[in-house]
Structure 1
Amino acid sequence: MNRVKSALRTPWFWAIVGIAVLLLINTIKNPAYLAISVNPTTGMLTGNVLDILRISAPIIMIALGMTFVIATGGIDLSVGSMMAVGGAVAMQTMSGMDGSQPVGEMLIAIGLALALAIVLGAINGFLVAVVGLQPFITTLIMMLAARGIARVITSGQNTDAKNEPFRLLANGQIFGIPTSFVLAIAIVVLIALAMRRTALGLMIESIGINPHASRLAGIRPRPILIGVYILSAALAAVGGLFSVSEVMTVSVGGTGNLMELDAILAVVIGGTSLAGGKFSIVGSTIGALLIATLNKTVLFLGIPAAATPAFKALVIIVLVLLQSERVRSWAMGRAKSPGTPSTPAPPAAEPAAPVSKEVVA
């Protein structure tokens, strides 16, 4: 019973419930929704579940980076534009090469994309940690600037390229699982080990809980703040690489558009408070899977584009309410039968007889 109560109080438990409910709804509409088959042309596995895993990879990346920024009490609204920058650099780099060495060209493109994202993330961190600008304003400006940089890189045009190793990042499989999802989970595990096996995770949480107290404890917040914004930008660029490798085209206006909202929702659903402090890497990953499942469900059910935001908002509101301890307590109280007699209180103990003060001779 204690384990059940503990699970109910875990925020990402309800995200798992939400994923299960969405899959159930899709299965009711099409009993073969969860079926996995082999593509006779490519010999690879195909199915809706694999599609969900593939499209979740970019969301996992930006949600992971957003987790640490939010844990410090900040916010990063530029992750969607960082995805566009990463994709633009990669596509523009590979489009200008002859394709004679596809693996080397892919590595060069990925390296340049990550390098530019790291520089932009360092600018975000510098403005927040050193200059003292508010994270909301800083990253809002960078959201516009990074999107503009992506347009400059591609001359404002959608850019495509041909590189088979790069295309397999999203369209390939490892033991039947999409390559991008496997790489995303590997990155999550590596960063989780770095955060939990060292003091870095605790220092990030301490800055989010009380920056002044953490400074008195000997923690230098500036390098850590700069580091989390660099990490967020780099992971967003990786998410952009996953996104453009699926179609081998970058759309400077569409790649990463509004993805920062999905990242924030995934982090909050996973249990990380927007006020900063303790974070949950597992929760953010499950939250990203929920967002991917929700996006896939919207398409599968054929919900009109005009009603899509309302449908997503309804699902997320229900999940957030289920996470609320106050709402669950109220629901449990209403569930009790009003006619059930309350347990009688134990009878009061008889008052002790007064002790005689007479002394027996």
Structure 2
Amino acid sequence: MTSASTPAKARGGANPYLKRLMWPLAVLVALIVVNIAVTGFDFIVPSVNDDRLGGAFVNILRRSAPLLLVSLGMTLVIATKGIDLSVGAVYAIGAAIACQMIIDAENQSAPGLIFAAVALALVVTGVIGAWNGTMVAYFGIQPIVATLILMIAGRGIAQLVTGGQIPKVQDSSPFTELGRGAILTVPVPIVIAALVLLLLALLTRRTALGMLLESVGGNPEASRLAGIRSKGITVLVYLVCGLCAGLAGLIGAANLGSADANNGGLWIELDAILAVVIGGTALLGGRFFLLGTTIGVVIIGTLEDTIINVGLSSQWQFTAKAIVVFVVALLQSPEFRAWILKPFKRKPETPAPAPAEEVLAK
């Protein structure tokens, strides 16, 4: 007899992880095919200019790097049945701290200054994330309320840091390399996002951390009774989310060479939640899919270019995102797929009733 705990692969069934990724991948491939049909294979084929990878799809990945960082942190938070609406404000705070510290210095090109500015920004954003987690875990405040407070106040904090101005870093400053530089021709934002993805994947899939996250999100009370320190894990994931948002803010500010407290990372929390949902992670907590979130981010970035390439106005951007999320959510729903395939399924043949003579003979 096959036990319930036997892996699906051993039972001959499909891997549930791959099944979750199948539909987002199908949507991404469809978007790529549409763009190739409109613009040609140059959309997907990278090029090398000035010792740096370029091309339409590479540019999408580079622009999507900050969103991917925020979305990865959001995935871990949602896995614990939480939400973080403050990531956009934390993005702005991290950018404001680093840029203001750099422009206040006499030599903006000093390596020690750049390191100190980046480190200070990450420490502050990490502390902010841990504060959100503490409010949720130890004070029992609902995640949406705890992070909404900082979502409102965070941009005010960023404006206080910059004095209401937009600090602009010199183009010659090494800080701009975080957003504009390249390592072995690969844009630095892509390298940073890939390293963070790899690190989080190793921590959550090669250690017990991933199982603990899913346990806390799936059933917090059972986790507590099992001896899992759910409060500490909750604080940890919010801290990581804050770090990811701060790092995203640094990349965004380095790319622009400035920090805009009002518009930096504006509404990035909504795109992050969309990417997490598209990637197959349920908002109810439990199982999470970092690779699925990555695919969701690439879908959002590709969709923005697709709207332009097919000749639609930018006003379609939000509507198109909603349509994509709706389609992916339906495709991931077993009930919807069963309803669609119901007319094509063969009904089991019912045996013909026995003749009356045979019934009477019995």
TM-score scaled to structure 2, two decimals?
0.88
**Amino acid of the residue matched to residue 109 of structure 1?**
A
State the distance in 2 between where 1:78 and 1:343 align. Answer: 54
- Going from structure 1 to structure 2, the CA distance change for 1:194 and 1:7 (only over 3 Å counts) comes to closer
> Are 2:243 and 1:234 equivalent residues in the alignment?
yes
Instruction: Decide which moves more: 267-276 or 157-166.
Output: 157-166
Equivalent residue, structure 1, for 2:86: 78
Gaps of 5+ in 2: 1-8
User: Structure 1 residue aligned with 2:281, among 272, 293, 299?
Assistant: 272
What is the distance in 2 between the residues matched to 1:113 and 1:139? 19
Contact 2:61–2:190 (Cα < 8 Å) also in 1: yes
Is the contact made by 2:179 and 2:251 (CA closer than 8 Å) also made in structure 1? Answer: yes
Deviating more after overlay: 10-19 vs 59-68: 10-19
* Superposition RMSD in Å: 2.6
2:43 maps to 33
Partner of 2:213: 204
- Offset at residue 130 of structure 1 (A): 1.0
1:211-262 Cα offsets, whole Å, 9 max, x none, are 1111110112211111111111111111111112111121111111000011
Give the alignment of 1:127-166 within 5 angstroms.
127-162=135-170, 163-166=172-175
The match for 1:17 is 26
Matched with 2:95 is 87
- Name the aligned partner's letter for residue 203 of structure 1: L
CA distance in 1, matches of 2:139, 2:83: 16
Shift of 1:26: 1.7
Question: 1:150–1:252: 8 Å Cα contact kept in structure 2?
Answer: yes
Cα 1:61–1:35 shift into 2, 3 Å = same
**Displacement, 1:306?**
2.9
Q: Which residue of 2 aligns with 1:220?
A: 229
SS at match of 1:249: coil
State the Cα distance separating 1:141 from its structure 2 match. 0.5
Answering whether residue 129 of structure 2 is matched by residue 125 of structure 1, we say no
2:3 paired residue number:
none
In structure 1, how many angstroms separate the alpha carbons of the residues matched to 2:54 and 2:32? 17
Alignment of 1:103-114 (within 5 A): 103-114=111-122
Rounded Cα–Cα distance in structure 1 between residues aligned with 2:183 and 2:286:
36
CA distance in structure 2 between the partners assigned to 1:54 and 1:229 by the alignment: 25
| Alignment CA distance shift 1:303-1:81 (3 Å) | farther
Greater C-alpha radius of gyration? 1
TM-superposed deviation, 1:308: 2.0
- Assess if the C-alpha contact under 8 Å between 1:11 and 1:269 holds in 2: no
Change (3 A) 1:348 1:175: farther
Which of 54, 62, 65 aligns to 1:46? It is 54
Residues 192-225 of structure 1: CA deviation (Å, up to 9, x unaligned): 2112222222111111111111111011221111
SS in structure 1 at match of 2:262: coil
Contact map agreement 1:59 1:292 (CA 8 A) in 2: no
**8 A Cα contact 1:12 1:269, kept in partner:** no
Percent identity for Structure 1 against Structure 2: 40
In 1, Cα distance between equivalents of 2:308 and 2:278:
22
Query: What corresponds to 1:67 in structure 2?
Result: 75
Matched residue count? 346
Alignment of 1:317-328 (within 5 A): 317-328=326-337
Distance 1:335-1:170 versus aligned 2 partners, 3 A rule: farther
Gaps of 5+ in 1: 355-361
> Please, what TM-score do these two structures have when normalized by structure 1?
0.88
**What's the offset of the Cα at 1:105?**
2.0
Work out whether residues 109 and 174 of structure 2, in 8 Å CA contact, stay in contact via their aligned partners in 1. no
Residue in structure 2 matching 1:253, options 218, 241, 262: 262
User: Match of 1:246, as an amino acid?
Assistant: N
Name the amino acid aligned to 1:148: G
Q: 1:254 to 1:171 in 2, by over 3 A?
A: same
Q: Which residue of 2 aligns with 1:244?
A: 253
Rounded Cα–Cα distance in structure 1 between residues aligned with 2:110 and 2:66: 23
Q: 1:291 aligns with which of 290, 294, 300?
A: 300
Choose 132-141 or 196-205, whichever is displaced more.
196-205
Q: 2:323 and 2:232 mapped to 1: Cα distance?
A: 39
For 2:341 and 2:96, the matched residues in 1 are separated by 52
Maintained 8 Å contact 2:127/2:239: yes
Q: Contact 2:79–2:287 (CA<8 Å) still a contact in 1?
A: yes
Paired letter, 1:14: W
2:176·2:254 contact (CA, 8 Å) conserved in 1? Answer: yes
For the pair 1:98 / 2:106, whether they are aligned, the reply is yes
